[in-house]
Amino acid sequence: METPLHDQLEAAARDSRPTLIVGAGIAGTTLAQLLRGAGQHPVLIERSAGRHPGYMLALMPMTDAAFSDLGVTEAYHSRSVPISRYRVRSRTGTILRTDPIDEILSQYGDYRGISRGDLLDILTTDHAPVTTGTTVSALRDEPDADSAATVTLRQGEQETEASFAVVIIADGIGSTTRRLLDTPTTDVDTGWGGWVVWAPADDQMDLGEELWGTDFLLATYPVKDAVGVFLGGNRDDTAAGPEAFVARVRRQVPSPGPRMNAALEAILADPDPYFWPLTDVRAARWTTGRTVLLGDAAAGFLPTAGIGAGMAMESAWVLARLLRHHESNDGGPPLPALLTSFEARQRPRVEAAQDNSRQLARLMFRRSRIWAVVRDLVARRVSVATALGPIRKLLADLPSVTPPSTNSPTTTNSPTAER
């Protein structure tokens, strides 16, 4: 709900710990709504003036706790579809294998397909103030426990200065706010990119399907009433445009199967398909005094393991639990120590998932006929359960939250749930 910045700042001033969340994407919105559910009034700002129509997401079970705390699990189920099978096709279009992915992941919780737009709608079903067209133009932060972070908020030519007890930077993989902190980052540029469009729903809406060509990837994932499509390749090749690239794919694979045919038609039918350069980013640190990075601003994922959005929601849930406990317990550690504790417990999990995505990218994003033959042989013999081994380890050890003690704020022990 679009809300004037002044109204948000006025509401936040009544909190004992005024909070700013920069970025109203999945991580920022999840955190804002979890804090609001606890009676707080975080200021949520977003640089975009309108919502991007979105793309497809496959959410793994690490999101279930956030949906539960928000009270939107039923809405999530009604606006998504269960993904129970995963199929991979070879460079010639033949089916290499179809795995029952629900049997692999159901022991941990739900694995469902949803559009990004539907997910944001679900997260904002309750009172969800946001001020769009707003950025951070200056940020001064000190680690002293008695200080506050001073932020300059810009709307067009107008600037407003405000102080916050904590600032959460969640404005995406290309975060402009992160740059104000001079936080070191590293990135992986695969050299690939591709178009994302929607195809009509079909009669296999529980199936995720991918076709790995010699120099392209065609992937489809179901959501409610539609199939999300990604067609990508080396950016030197995709520069020719979607029509030429689709023709290239069809020359290589004349019979890719009915869904893949529909996917290629959807690419051609879209007058302005969204192009996604396949890069990621990793921040060397998440916290600076009273400021913390979250979601893609901390670690932006390649889509290869389908886990980036899930890890963003998980991190938002962990941070919300810590901040909510801090709000209700005056004798806890100082906020900078609490944020450091959050990084110490969550960053290793996020980076382990990101490492898995990077490893899969090295297998998938290549231009080589010989490598494609080898990859087909490997894919025929190696199940998705094996490929997702590192992710399954994360799911088997989902985080619960015990806030750090005052005496040892950065120590992460085997936690028990704080309910």
Predicted confidence at residue 416, as pLDDT, reads: 33
Among the ranges given (291-305, 317-331, 352-366, 367-381), the one the predictor scored with the smallest mean pLDDT: 317-331
Residue 239: is it exposed, middle or buried by C-beta count within 10 angstroms (0-12/13-18/19+)?
Answer: exposed
Average pLDDT estimate for 70-84: 97
Which residues, 6+ apart, have CB-to-CB distance to 17 below 8 Å? 40, 165, 166, 323, 326, 327, 335
| Per-residue model confidence (pLDDT) at position 419 | 30
The confidence score (pLDDT) of residue 364 equals: 85
Contact of 279 with 361, CB cutoff 8 Å: no
pLDDT of residue 144: 60
What number of other Cβ atoms are within 10 A of residue 240's Cβ?
A: 12
pLDDT of 413 reads 36
Among left, alpha and beta (phi > 0; psi -120 to 50; other), residue 191 is: left
Q: What is the pLDDT of residue 214?
A: 93
Mean pLDDT, range 120-137, rounded to an integer:
94
Mean pLDDT, range 264-268, rounded to an integer:
98
Ordered by start, the domain boundaries in the chain are 5-83+113-187+280-371+384-396
State the pLDDT at residue 50: 66
Residue 146 confidence class, pLDDT cut points 50, 70, 90: low
pLDDT for position 256:
95
Q: What is the mean pLDDT of residues 172-190?
A: 95
Q: What is the pLDDT of residue 400?
A: 81
Place 305 in a pLDDT band, splitting at 50, 70 and 90. Answer: confident
Q: Which residues pair with 154 in a beta bridge?
A: 135, 159
CB within 8 Å of 200: residues ≥ 6 apart: 226, 227, 262, 266
Instruction: Work out the average pLDDT over 281-303.
Output: 97
Query: Worst-scoring range by mean pLDDT, 178-182, 245-249, 288-292, 323-327?
Result: 323-327
Question: 39 in the Ramachandran plot: left (φ > 0), alpha (ψ -120 to 50) or beta?
Answer: left
- pLDDT tier at 405, thresholds 50, 70, 90: low
Question: 0.85 cut: is pTM over it?
Answer: yes
> What are the residues whose beta carbons fall under 8 Å from the beta carbon of 285, sequence distance 6 or more?
183, 184, 343
What is the model's pLDDT at position 385? 79
Domain 5-83+113-187+280-371+384-396 CATH assignment equals 3.50.50.60: yes
Q: How far apart are CA 264 and CA 246, in angstroms?
A: 6
pLDDT score for 164:
96
DSSP 130: B
User: Tokens for 177?
Assistant: 């706010």
Q: Is the pLDDT of residue 1 over 90?
A: no
Taken in order 252, 258, 261, 263, the sign of the CA dihedral is negative
Check residue 181 and give its pLDDT: 93
Burial of 243 (0-12, 13-18, 19+ CB in 10 A): exposed
Whether the CB-CB separation of 142 and 154 falls below 8 Å is answered with: no
The pLDDT of residue 248 is 96
